[in-house]
Amino acid sequence: MHRLLAVALVLALVAPTPRVRADMPPAAGAKFGPMSEHFEKRVVAIGLSNPHNMVFGPDGYLWITEQIGRRIARVDPLSGKVMVAAQVDDAVHSKDAQDGLLGLALHPDLLKQRGRDFVYVSLTYASGDSGDFPNRTLIRRYTYDAKTQKLGAPMDIIKGLPSANVAGRKDNAGYAYANYSAAQGGCASVKDL
């Protein structure tokens, strides 16, 4: 059963998905309404250690992965208060490399009281292998507890994805697929994840 679920997840992550409206460029010559006069550029939070991915959550907070700090944080966009939801100690970051705690996706049912308060991250970890590319990539699921505002019950969904050294830096071969799919709605068709 677990093997079948893993195969289905891999297929969902690498299969081409239709473009969603947010990805579609406007038609040539399209008219736009007036821009909001309330747009401002400002620093929202300080003290983050190389923020990598950011998602606006259903709770009104920014959910952020810190590549070097190995934390999943929630940031109040009004006050800038940073709240650590989880520390991911097994994420490995190498100087000048594209590794560490990277991708982030929130389950569509997060905080909807449907029992699927899941947060997914991708990270590199030390595999114990020797050679040019000793790190591997994994996709991990956490469960969010709204009462404690913490992530717990980590479960590795996919482990052992290869990492590669491209043009003198490390890239996650599996990361691009996982991040692409997560941006498109992720594993929404695999309800048990």
Per the CATH hierarchy, to which homologous superfamily does domain 48-183 belong? TolB, C-terminal domain (2.120.10.30)
Whether 163 has a pLDDT exceeding 90, the answer reads no
How much is the pLDDT for 162? Answer: 78
Measuring CA to CA, how many Å separate 171 from each of 140, 148, 151, 161, 179?
A: 18, 34, 26, 11, 13
**Tokens 């560490």, residue located:** 100
Under the banding of pLDDT at 50, 70 and 90, the label for residue 35 is low
Q: How far apart are CA 72 and CA 92, in angstroms?
A: 14
Pairing label, strands 101-106, 169-172? unpaired
Under the banding of pLDDT at 50, 70 and 90, the label for residue 30 is low
pLDDT (tens digit, 9 = 90+) per residue, 89-133? 999 887 766 788 889 999 999 999 999 999 999 999 988 777 666
